[in-house]
């Protein structure tokens, strides 16, 4: 009994004070918040109404590297591309105006805020430049469909004050297939459960369990690599997901496909319950749109692997690495997830622009995504804006 009491006390301390421990890196702390190890509400940038984070309000402009995939594999670039993100506004996003001054609202994740382009070349800034219509963007990495419903409700309502209420009619939801319907939804669900159970979570040592789960997952690639090595396969820490070469016109460029893609190898986590849950979110957004007279449009953004898979030079793949066998399955499952998203959004009454068929057939498809990052290049953003304006000419 004493041992259990000690564990429960440890769980409480880990949940409320663990983020102050210096032996966790900033990146690890971010992941541990997402995994439900640390109390999200203890973070100054957490917003309970969103069940998610914003950026630090007022943070000055900064530069960030465009190499998330290579970093995920522990393959640092000597001179990674760098992009500039503008200063953060008072609500916690990258804007130079308030929501009340905008006529178009964009909602999205890191594809929206310009992780691969910088603020000046984001989809929403390019849209504003092309149309002359002022817009506002509530975008951050880690947002998913459930967050977009909360953002739509809050930013078009009165709870943040008149200055922060969007009074326009047009809303674009940039729905990224990489994780907006998967990991980001699971994180959101975790926070919902934390609110419901409250302190009772410590009775079953939730933070300790989640920490152990995180540690197991973080070692997954290393275990798989070790298994391959034991079986006599060549040492390959990237499992063949890097380097991957394309056919002409980019045969000399080595592409890296993010390890997160492997989470869709087995779709057991996505069944009727999850489908119903997501359809309910679409329905809730449709209700908000009807009641407030909003014209909400979905733009479905495919992963780089979906777009570039037909262009991979299979003759140059490491046939012994997992990627050679896994890539077709990953693409098939992402395509099925895309089909579900498009169908569910349309069923709820939303117009949908599915970018995948448009991007796959382009001659410049290899220039749309960064080779060692998951995100669109500035050119990819520009192509997306052109597609939006063509699909929805009445802006």
Residues 7 and 145 in one domain: no
At residue 36, the pLDDT reads 77
Alpha-carbon distance 190 to 215, whole Å? 18
Residues 127 and 249 in one domain: yes
Average pLDDT over residues 104-115: 98
Residues 264 and 323 in one domain: yes
At residue 132, the pLDDT reads 97
Residues 171 and 189 in one domain: no
Q: Is the pTM of this model over 0.85?
A: yes
Alpha-carbon distance 182 to 163, whole Å? 33
Q: Is 341 domain-assigned?
A: yes
Give the residue from 259, 256, 252 showing the smallest Cα distance to 243.
256
Residues 209 and 155 in one domain: no
Tokens of residue 239, six digits: 């499992």
Contacts (Cβ under 8 Å, ≥6 apart) of 291: none
Alpha-carbon distance 19 to 16, whole Å? 8
Query: What's the pLDDT tens digit per position in 16-46?
Result: 777 778 877 776 777 777 777 877 777 889 9
Query: What's the pLDDT tens digit per position in 202-238?
Result: 776 777 877 887 777 666 544 544 454 444 454 567 8
Helix 183-197 and helix 272-292, axial crossing angle in degrees, nearest 10: 80
- Pick the most confident of 233-242, 258-267, 384-393: 384-393
Q: Is 237 domain-assigned?
A: no
Burial of 319 (0-12, 13-18, 19+ CB in 10 A): exposed
Q: Is 103 domain-assigned?
A: yes
Provide the number of structural domains found in the chain.
Answer: 2
Name the band, by pLDDT with cuts 50, 70 and 90, for residue 124: very high
Residues 110 and 200 in one domain: no
Alpha-carbon distance 290 to 95, whole Å? 27
Residues 7 and 137 in one domain: no
Q: By residue range, what is the domain housing residue 17?
A: 1-40+183-218
At residue 35, the pLDDT reads 73
Give the residue from 104, 98, 186 showing the smallest Cα distance to 145.
186
At residue 73, the pLDDT reads 85
Residues 76 and 8 in one domain: no
Tokens of residue 333, six digits: 């499952």
At residue 197, the pLDDT reads 64
Give the residue from 148, 109, 91 showing the smallest Cα distance to 296.
148
The CATH number covering residue 124 comes to 3.40.50.1110
Name the band, by pLDDT with cuts 50, 70 and 90, for residue 199: confident
For 270, phi then psi, to 5°, come to -115, 95
Query: What's the pLDDT tens digit per position in 328-373?
Result: 999 999 999 999 999 999 999 999 999 999 999 999 999 999 999 9
Residues 206 and 349 in one domain: no
Query: What's the pLDDT tens digit per position in 40-70?
Result: 777 889 999 999 999 999 999 999 999 999 8
Q: Is 235 domain-assigned?
A: no
Alpha-carbon distance 210 to 35, whole Å? 6
Mean pLDDT of all residues belonging to the chain? 89
């Amino acid at each position: 009994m004493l041992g259990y009491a000690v564990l429960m006390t440890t769980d409480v301390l880990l949940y409320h004070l663990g983020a102050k421990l210096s032996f966790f890196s900033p990146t690890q702390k971010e992941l541990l918040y997402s995994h439900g190890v640390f109390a999200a509400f203890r973070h100054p940038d957490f917003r309970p109404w969103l069940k998610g984070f914003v950026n630090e309000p007022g943070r000055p402009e900064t530069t960030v590297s465009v190499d998330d995939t290579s970093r995920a594999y522990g393959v640092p670039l000597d001179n990674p591309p760098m992009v500039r993100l503008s200063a953060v506004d008072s609500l916690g996003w990258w804007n130079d105006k308030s929501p009340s001054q905008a006529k178009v609202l964009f909602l999205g994740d890191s594809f929206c805020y310009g992780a691969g382009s910088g603020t000046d070349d984001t989809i929403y800034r390019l849209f504003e430049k092309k149309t002359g219509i002022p817009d506002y963007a509530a975008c951050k990495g880690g947002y998913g469909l459930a967050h977009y419903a909360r953002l739509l409700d809050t930013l078009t309502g009165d709870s943040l004050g008149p200055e922060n209420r969007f009074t326009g009619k047009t809303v674009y939801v940039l729905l990224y297939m990489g994780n907006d319907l998967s990991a980001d939804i699971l994180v959101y669900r975790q926070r919902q459960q934390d609110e419901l159970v409250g302190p009772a979570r410590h009775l079953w040592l939730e933070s300790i369990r989640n920490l152990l789960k995180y540690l197991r997952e973080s070692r997954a690639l290393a275990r798989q690599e070790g298994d391959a090595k034991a079986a006599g396969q060549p040492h390959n820490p990237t499992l063949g997901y890097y380097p991957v070469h394309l056919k002409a016109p980019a045969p000399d460029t080595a592409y890296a496909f993010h390890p997160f893609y492997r989470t869709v190898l087995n779709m057991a986590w996505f069944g009727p319950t999850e489908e119903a849950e997501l359809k309910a979110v679409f329905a809730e957004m449709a209700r908000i749109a009807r009641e407030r007279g909003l014209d909400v449009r979905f733009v479905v953004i495919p992963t780089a692997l979906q777009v570039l898979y037909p262009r991979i030079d299979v003759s140059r793949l490491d046939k012994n690495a997992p990627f050679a066998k896994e890539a077709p399955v990953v693409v098939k499952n992402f395509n099925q997830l895309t089909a579900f998203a498009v169908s569910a959004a349309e069923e709820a009454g939303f117009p949908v622009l599915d970018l995948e068929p448009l991007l796959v057939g382009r001659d410049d498809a290899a220039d749309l995504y960064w080779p060692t990052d998951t995100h669109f290049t500035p050119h990819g953003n520009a192509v997306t804006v052109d597609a939006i304006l063509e699909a929805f000419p009445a802006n």
